[in-house]
Structure 1
Amino acid sequence: MEIEGKHKRKLTGFHAWVVYFVAVTMSLYQIYFLTLGGIASPWVFRAGHLAFALAIVFLISPAGKKSEKNSFTILDALLAICSMVVFAYIILNLEELIMRAGVSPTKFDVIFGIITILLVLEASRRFFGPVLPLIAAVFLLYSYFGHLIHGRFSIPRYSLQRIVSYSFSTTGIYGIALSTSATYVFLFVLFGSFLNHTGIGDIFMKLSMALAGGVRGGPAKVSAISSALFGSISGSASSNVVTTGAFTIPMMKKIGYPGEFAAAVETTASIGGLFLPPIMGAGGFLMADFLQIPYSSVIKAAVVPAILYYIVLFIIIDFVAMKLELKGLPKSELPKFKDILSNDLYLIFPILVLLYFLLIVRVSPVRAGLWSILACIIVSWFKSETRVGFKRLGNILSEGARMAVNISIATATAGIIVGVLQMTGLGLTFSSTLVYLSETSTFLTLVLAMVVTIVLGMGLPITATYITVAAVVAPALIKIGITPIAAHLFLYFFAAVSGMTPPVCVTAYAAAGVAGEDPFMVGIQSMKLGWAGYLLPFMFVFGNSLLLIGSVQQIVMSIVSALVGAFAIVASLYGYGTIQEPSRRLVIRGLFGVGGLLLLHVGALTNIPGFVLVASAILLSRVRSKEQTNIKTMK
């Protein structure tokens, strides 16, 4: 047996079996408590979830570049054991801990609290690098030394015991963020593992190839479709890039797309999967918990902006393919849609089950996820090569747990930050500062919120970024009159697109590695392709009808306006038609650009002239193209 962890530690033999056992046990622990409800306290459930996640991280992630790569060390094993000891301490002292948390901790509470904080910070450092744990450590230092600061950000003096106890509770590390990871995210990551191992994941690529592979610029459109489907389930844009990009990027380069552009398409498409329903990575579940609304309400609000994002990407891909005169793949290289319908269509049954329970029956995401996993097992038995037996089930449970620990560690570390924000009132202070700034301009406040989120996202995982800004920035946006769901989606969109925003652009780096291109230039190209991801949040904040809020007439008008406006802006940026004269091209692009910008703001005063300008640009372009054709014919 071989198990590969983060940072390329490749375990074999006994060490691989140990990790396999811990990971399978974690999955069984999760399934048991989520199905049978055999849990007395949310604290215990979350503590067990974190203990297993910490143990797995210490066993599969080396402490440094010079650490052992093929086996874990004695220190790694001791850290994993310490994680379990903390779990045992919480179980044995649960009732007393609930009474003492944040108020009157004992000496042992403080000791185990410090151990837990250090374990979380070290696991975060190993898995994500130094930025996230460093930010959490700065917040902890602020809670202890903040009374020395003068002015708006001064806080009361807190003892070490209170700080540690507050962090070591359901208001800190074991708070709502970790609860979301343990309750919802783990289950859907496990669902993704079932999809991968039962052949169901393959149908995404087959359908994408059959639907779009043969059309103009086909491979790039295949990349967009497959990455959207995979990205929504995986919850990680970078891992999605590596998984689907290994196939789609070479295919795009093969038909003539520049490597830089191919990597950017994969980056942009994978980023979009993070806010594409029905799963939306971890963000949708976190949002539902923060806002205390049904998960179906989050899906409903996110669906139109997400689809618009991909429509814009498709239009750009098509314009570039037309400009470069790129064709699709030959029919001989494409799967036949008829064969997919007859041989593989049944594989989408688990996805239909998920949608049915989430959107029609509207049960909890946990029940929907469990029914979907059961559906995966059922359809796997239709063919012997995909059948889930004991061996394959063990591999699925092991992989699912190892794939989920990144969210567990990110949410636990973010819990430290959120705990300090709540204890010190820093979140309220920051929110009141933003509210004060908003008196000048709501738009400038949104720009500041965008910048803060993107900068944080350059150093933090998307989950930790969103949790932090949801605690600090979202309350301020809501106070100035922005609809709560719009405020949270605004922040989540920018937490996602930070992955393709230079100079860091983590997702673009992953795609550049696959394509063999300059990561910074791939990031720049990704921003050009994914400009809708930066503009749509402002559109749905100022026009909630894009979130399906309002009358049917308003919603239809806003969607039509956004679609035509997006097309017009792409036509302005990339050129429309075959006009040869530079002056005429400039005029037509100008008409498209101005018309498109007017249409992005819903309202009769802007929409009517916007539609007129876009229609004029199309008419002028076609008339001139016809004239050019006639001249060529006469010659």
Structure 2
Amino acid sequence: MLGCVLFTAMHLYALNIAPIETWTFRILHIAGGLMVGFAITAAMSVDPEGGAGKGSRPAGIERFAALITALASGYAGACALALWGLSEGPGVAVTNWLPLHLAVALAIASVAGVVSSWCFPSRGDRIHWPDLALMVSALVVAAFLIFVLGRWRMAAGTPLVGTPELLVSASGVLLIMELTRRIAGLALIAITSVFLLYAFAGPYLPGILEHDGYTAKRFFTYLYTDSGVLGPTTAVSSTYIILFITFAAFLQASKVGDYFVNFAFAMAGRSRGGPAKVAVFASGLMGMINGTSAGNVVATGSLTIPLMKRVGYHPLSAGGIEAAASTGGQIVPPIMGAGAFIMAEITGIPYTEIAFAALIPAALYFLAIYLMVDLEARRDGMQGLPKDQLPLVTEMLKRVYLFLPIIILITTLFMGYSVIRAGTLAMASAAVVSWLTPHWMGPKALLRALELGARMSVPLIAVCACAGIIVGVISLTGVGARFASMLLGLADTSHFLALFFAMCISILLGMGMPTTAAYAVAASVVAPGLQQIGISPLVSHFFVFYYAVLSAITPPVALAGYAAAA
């Protein structure tokens, strides 16, 4: 898909060759992610016949809805073109009514597109018309924000904003939440909705939850600043996440990722409970790059879980081992599922210091899993896989050069190269080493890797933007500071009690969310309180990060466990 390729290529070009102004880049990043996301996701059920089959809405109603949506999105797009084409330059509109017309049409198109995507089934072989309207809406939001960016920086979140700014920012929030609903389900949307409701219900709430309340204009425009949607979560998703997800796509397209799994099978497959030990190694390595526990369970578990069951592991144990190993990959340096980069962005602590600090916890985590796997295999008398079903160790050792991308990544990071440069060099090396294999990457394979990078990045982009909404609410209402004061009061009684309470909040806030979003939200609420009771920033954020990661395997949600069960 051309759009996916262009989306990934734009990021690589901007990150390495021609940097774009920070806010503009993040606005384009979110708009591009929304457009690609709406293009590749289905809103509700897919109707392969494309007709008014059983359970579908009458064709006349759908045509009317399509007409209204098309007119609104088309008019919004025309207003955006006029805003740019008929003005003297960004920030200078020809008429006063043009922004208002754009905003009203955009709001109608966004709401109509979302509702229509729920009500009318889509065809599986082409972009559905509501999704096309939502793609146009995402582009119009970006065009308007970039046009008024100079004023937006100064006025957003203040009483100086007008109705156009309110409608555009609210439409942007709606689009982000709709794409997140499609990709991540209702858990994150429910949490986000609670925070949105809290922003308006504050005057009626008791205790530390009370605040003065905010007008819709001030609230929604504040969310679309670097204190909310355009803040740390999007800063990371627009740089490190998309870079390393694209790196993972290059590993997959070049079959280097398959080599990692085969190498693990060759080394540990014949040992007692071999497939489970392979799952521990492969899931930890790929989970480090993947950025989402549940996604990694699906990627590696489809191979390891059936093999674990075949050598004698109970299905519950097989799923649990895979879920635990994939979740642990999020704390494995140097990438840590992008968690290290978010932590560096929030705390200002050098990335290398964070990566070094993660070494011992990650080693202990996987040592514990490995020992439990081995003890269960010994207790039940399990054997490994037969030799004839495993790759030859000698063949794997002959191709050990395929570890070069990971070696280059780690080496360049600790030589002081920037994360962007190190990731780009590792990505290029994945393509180069593929030339020494039958799966060498030519132009078509490179384009396929860029497309795959965009498709794999979109879920995390949507989730990070949605987490930015929550972070914006926390920042605006000050609930994080009040929570910190409460922790400080608990610490006067017992540090253990304060830490236990912080752990529970980190797990609860992270339930149902990918790692990056879980940590970003928990760090906004819990970490400041831990620092106020005397814990260093690095330790505070690692404490929060660890338990936010563990939310993926903590009942009742246990997103990684759910993926393993599927």
- The bucket for the TM-score relative to the shorter chain is 0.7 to 0.9
> In the aligned structure 2, how far is the partner of 1:209 from the partner of 1:129?
34
Establish whether residue 479 from structure 1 lines up as the match of residue 532 from structure 2.
Answer: yes
Deviations for 1:175-203, whole angstroms, at most 9, x for unmatched residues? 11101110111100000000011121012
- Per-residue CA deviations over 1:438-486 (Å, capped at 9, x if unaligned) read 2111111111111112222223332222111100100101111122212
Map 1:6-21 to 2 at 5 A.
20-21=1-2
Q: CA deviation at 1:61?
A: 2.1
* 1:36 is the counterpart of 2:54: no
SS of structure 1 residue aligned to 2:493: coil
Matches within 5 A, 1:317-396: 317-342=373-398, 344-359=399-414, 361-383=415-437, 385-396=438-449
The alignment partner of 2:501 has SS state of helix
- Structure 2 counterparts to residues 210-229 of structure 1, below 5 A: 210-229=266-285
1:125 aligned partner? 181
Q: Which residue of 2 aligns with 1:57?
A: 37
The letter of the residue matching 2:3 is V
Q: Deviations over 1:341-397 (max 9, x none)?
A: 22x2121111111001112x12221111011111112112223x3222221111111
Residues 517-539 of structure 1: CA deviation (Å, up to 9, x unaligned) = xxxxxxxxxxxxxxxxxxxxxxx
Matches within 5 A, 1:363-512: 363-383=417-437, 385-512=438-565
Q: What is the aligned partner in structure 2 of residue 531 from structure 1? A: none
Give distance in 1, aligned partners of 2:538 and 2:514.
21
For 2:252 and 2:184, the matched residues in 1 are separated by 25
**Whole-angstrom CA distance in 2 between matches of 1:77 and 1:275:** 38
Out of 284, 287, 295, the position equivalent to 1:231 is: 287
Counterparts of 2:174 and 2:305, CA distance in 1: 41
1:160 to 2:216 alignment = yes
Cα distance in 1, alignment partners of residues 534 and 200 from structure 2: 34
Aligned to 1:569: none
1:92 aligns with 147
1:74-113 aligned within 5 A: 74-103=129-158, 104-113=160-169
Q: What is the CA–CA distance in structure 2 between the aligned matches of 1:152 and 1:316, rounded to whole Å? A: 43
Q: Distance in 1 between matches of 2:391 and 2:550?
A: 33
* 1:334 Cα deviation from its structure 2 partner: 2.3
Task: Classify 1:335/1:371 alpha carbon distance in 2 versus 1 (closer, same or farther; 3 Å).
Answer: same
Cα pair 2:471 2:521 within 8 Å, conserved? yes
Q: In the TM superposition, what is the alpha-carbon distance from 1:139 to its structure 2 partner?
A: 2.0
- Give me the whole-angstrom Cα distance separating, in 2, the residues matched to 1:473 and 1:278: 24
Q: 1:150 deviation in Å?
A: 4.5
Letter in 2 for 1:124: T
424 and 456 in structure 1: CA distance in 2 versus 1, 3 angstrom threshold: closer
Distance 2:520 2:3 in 1: 28
Where does residue 252 of structure 1 map in the other structure? 308
Once the two structures are superposed, residues 294-315 of structure 1 have per-residue CA deviations (whole angstroms, 9 ceiling, x without a partner) of 2111111111111111111111
d(CA) in 1 for partners of 2:480, 2:441: 48
- Aligned position for 1:46: 26
TM-score, length of structure 2 as denominator length:
0.84
What secondary structure sits across from 1:328 in the alignment?
coil
Per-residue deviation, 1:106 = 3.3
The normalised TM-score by structure 1 is 0.75
Q: Cα deviations across residues 136-195 of structure 1 (Å, max 9, x unaligned)?
A: 233223223312334433222422211111112111111111011101111000000000
Q: Quick one: distance in 2 between partners of 1:481 and 1:239?
A: 36
Q: 4+ runs of 1 displaced by more than 6 Å?
A: none
User: Is the CA contact 2:36–2:458 (under 8 Å) kept in the aligned structure 1?
Assistant: yes
Q: CA deviation at 1:69?
A: 5.3
Query: Shift in Å at residue 279 of structure 1?
Result: 1.0
SS of structure 1 residue aligned to 2:4: helix
- The amino acid of 1:38's aligned partner reads P
1:238 and 1:89 map into 2 onto residues whose CA distance is: 36
Cα 1:222–1:150 change in 2 (3 A) is closer
Determine which structure has more spread, i.e. the larger CA radius of gyration.
1
Q: Distance in 2 between matches of 1:318 and 1:145?
A: 53
- Is the 2:330–2:515 Cα contact (8 Å) retained in structure 1? no
In 2: Cα distance, 1:129 partner to 1:33 partner: 31
Secondary structure, counterpart of 2:362 in structure 1: helix
2:230 aligned counterpart, secondary structure: coil
Of the structure 1 ranges 85-94 and 271-280, higher mean CA displacement relative to structure 2 is found in 85-94
- Residue of structure 1 equivalent to 2:235: 179
Point out which structure has higher relative CO (alpha carbons under 8 A, 6+ apart).
Answer: 2
Aligned to 1:68: 122
Cα distance in 1 for residues equivalent to 2:513 and 2:395: 44
Q: Does 1:294 align with 2:350?
A: yes
Count of aligned pairs: 490
> 2:323 touches 2:561 (CA, 8 Å); kept in 1?
yes
Query: Take 2:544 and 2:280, find their aligned partners in 1: how far apart are those partners?
Result: 23
**1:60 partner letter:** I
Q: Which ranges in structure 1 are unaligned for 5 or more consecutive residues?
A: 1-19, 514-635
Partner of 2:69 in structure 1?
A: none
CA distance in 2, matches of 1:508, 1:91: 42
Residue 26 of structure 1 and its aligned partner are, at CA, apart by 0.7
The alpha carbon displacement at 1:330 in A equals 2.3
Quick one: which of 313, 333, 342 aligns to 1:277?
333
Specify the code of the residue in structure 2 equivalent to 1:275.
I
1:202 aligns with 2:254: no
SS at match of 2:209: coil
- Note closer, same or farther for the CA distance 1:97–1:510 as it changes in structure 2 (3 Å cut): same
Q: Distance in 2 between matches of 1:310 and 1:412?
A: 31
Contact 2:292 2:514 in 1 (8 A): no
CA RMSD in angstroms, aligned pairs only: 1.6
Asked whether the equivalents of residues 463 and 514 of structure 2 are also in contact (C-alpha less than 8 Å), the reply is yes
Contact 2:233 2:342 survives alignment (8 Å)? yes
Aligned mates of 2:337, 2:471 — CA distance in 1: 21
Q: Distance in 2 between matches of 1:34 and 1:99?
A: 26
Structure 2, gaps ≥5 residues long: 47-120
The answer to whether the 8 A contact 2:169-2:221 is kept is: yes
Deviation digits for residues 17-62 of structure 1 (CA, Å, limit 9, x no counterpart): xxx12211110110111011331x2111111111111112222222
- For the residue of structure 2 that corresponds to 1:439, the secondary structure is helix
Which residue of 2 is the match for residue 8 of structure 1?
A: none
For structure 1, which segment, 420-429 or 93-102, has the greater mean C-alpha deviation from structure 2 after superposition?
A: 93-102
Choose 434-443 or 186-195, whichever is displaced more: 434-443
Structure 1: how far apart are the matches of 2:184 and 2:397? Answer: 42
